[in-house]
Amino acid sequence: MEISSIPFLNQEEYSYFYSFFQELDNNNNIGDNPINKRRKIDGPAGENNPLKEILDTISFMDDQDIPNSNFDFNFQIPSSNFASETTERVRKTPPPKFDGGSSSSPVSEEMSSGQYHGGGAGGPQRRLWVKERSKGWWEYYNSDECSDQEFKKAFRMTKATFSTICDELDSAVTKKDTMLRMAIPVRQRVAVCLYRLATGDPLRTVSGLFGLGISTCHKLVLEVCAAIRTVLMPKYLQWPDEARLEQIKTEFDSISGIPNISGSIYTTHISIIAPKVSPAAYFNKKHTERNQKPSYSTTVQGVVDSRGVFTDICIGYPGSMSDDKILEKSALSQRFNMGHLKDIWVVGNTSYPLLDWFLVPYTQQNQTWSQHSFNEKIGEVQKVAKDAFMRLKGRWACLQKRTEVKLQDLPVVLGACCVLHNICEMNNETMDADLGFELFDDEIVAGETSRGIMVNAVQVRDSIAHNLLHHSHGGSGFR
């Protein structure tokens, strides 16, 4: 079968050539080229004949040496000399042109990184257009030339800790190479996520530093955060076993003098864009009054051990919900109510209720010496949790500003930040002093109706306060 050298014109190609010749006809007084002369000889009779325009086009194409295998990838227009000479006149910003031969043009050099040849023997050949971006910044930080201090400033951890995370996530985030392009290495994938969480820089900035597309960077952040939740959270964020629990009790006892404390709890707010669904539930009244503009937030409730490592987190409740309501709905409260956790205390601030397993400060104004001493000791335990959240937001600056992550994806990102915080704390990664962040979470004293009146809890707290004043740990028993 013989194939004509002239491709069949679709609607887009027809419109292109028709517009071009119509422009030449309207501007035939500009320049004396063979095309204008030919149209003048045709006479006025064919000036308004559309069929004549098509015939002239085909006739003109017969006179040109148009290859039948090379086409513009984006617009499907023959990439002959004729098209290359006239594209600039028709379009102000022409798309990149592909030359099937060994062209030395800048466009051809830029396309050399990604190619796809299809169609079999003798078939058309096309190249996959991939924008070249500089990867110099990441290549430096991924090399031995970058010092540990520089690396830690950018990613909030040393190279050794970073390598450990990459090794553990390798099987979860590795992608295979394809015919079209090489897969992004695991270290670069993890680095994109950590840098975005650590600095909170816009995706456009992250894209420029790592030499990747903006949408690619956004996708990598979510993928790596999901892998951290799936792979690392069960290992680095879990309720302590019996041996570790006894160690935590001993460490908190040395801090406060109060026995059997297993954790300190705190709730912080993360600013978000007003959601389209139930915006009133996420409206944060206190933040709105402080910022003098409408503010919306979601919450992160966390229990930490004596080192500031998270042992339990509850993420995603609306910012309008009080701390005591979040605690009531959390899995931690359900485990205590079902009797799975016994003979231990969790310490919170005045935003929480006094329960059989939950210690809070006295709130009355006229306090006794024993009550005042108890509040001071409870404050030292509570400071452990508050300092942990300050380091959490200090390390991962994305939590300091209003996040643009979709509400349904936000719990995964916040959970990943908590896991990474634990990894840094367990590896003794110190945080630079200039990264310190002051929390702006308001304590709203829980009323008696929401606290409930638990006679046993009141009596036990009074007993602990009395023994603290007399430097004795006896008689503070449970139930």
- Strands of the sheet containing 296-304, edge to edge, are 310-318, 296-304, 261-272, 345-347, 358-359
Q: Which is nearest to 233 in space by CA: 159, 309, 125?
A: 309
Residue 303, Cβ density class (10 Å: 0-12 exposed, 13-18 middle, ≥19 buried):
buried
**What is the mean pLDDT of the segment spanning 257-267?**
96
Q: How far apart are CA 228 and CA 194, in angstroms?
A: 11
**What percentage of the chain exceeds 90 in pLDDT?**
57
Spatial separation of the C-alpha atoms in residues 320 and 283, rounded to whole Å = 6
Reply yes or no on whether the pLDDT at 150 is more than 50. Answer: yes
Residues 265-283, mean pLDDT to the nearest whole number = 94
| pLDDT value for 444 | 75
Spatial separation of the C-alpha atoms in residues 34 and 11, rounded to whole Å? 27
Give the three-class secondary structure for 163. helix
Compute the average pLDDT of residues 237-258. Answer: 95
276-318 confidence digits (pLDDT tens): 989 999 999 988 888 888 999 999 999 999 999 999 999 999 9
Q: Which residues contact 322 (CB under 8 A, 6 or more apart)?
A: 351, 444, 446, 450
Residue 90 has pLDDT above 80, yes or no: no
Q: How many CB atoms lie within 10 A of CB 222?
A: 16
pLDDT of residue 50: 57
Grade residue 71 by pLDDT with cuts at 50, 70 and 90: very low
pLDDT at 12: 54
Q: What is the pairing mode between strands 358-359 and 345-347?
A: parallel
pLDDT of the residue at 439? 86
- Per-residue pLDDT band at 438 (split at 50, 70, 90): confident
Would you say residue 88 has pLDDT above 50? no
* 114 or 199, which is more confident: 199
**What's the pLDDT score for residue 447?**
57
Higher-pLDDT residue of 97, 391: 391
**Domain ranges in the chain?**
11-111, 136-235, 240-469
Whether pLDDT at 126 is above 80: no
Which residues have CB under 8 Å from 107's CB, separation 6+? 96, 97, 98, 99
pLDDT band at 25 (very low <50, low <70, confident <90, very high): low
One-letter amino acid identity for 82?
A: F
Q: Are strands 345-347 and 310-318 parallel, antiparallel or unpaired?
A: unpaired
Give the C-alpha distances (Å, rounded to integers) separating 58 from 17, 42, 54, 72.
10, 15, 6, 19
- Lowest model confidence (mean pLDDT) among 57-61, 73-77, 138-142, 465-469: 73-77
- Average pLDDT of span 83-108: 41
Mean predicted confidence (pLDDT) in 210-224 = 95
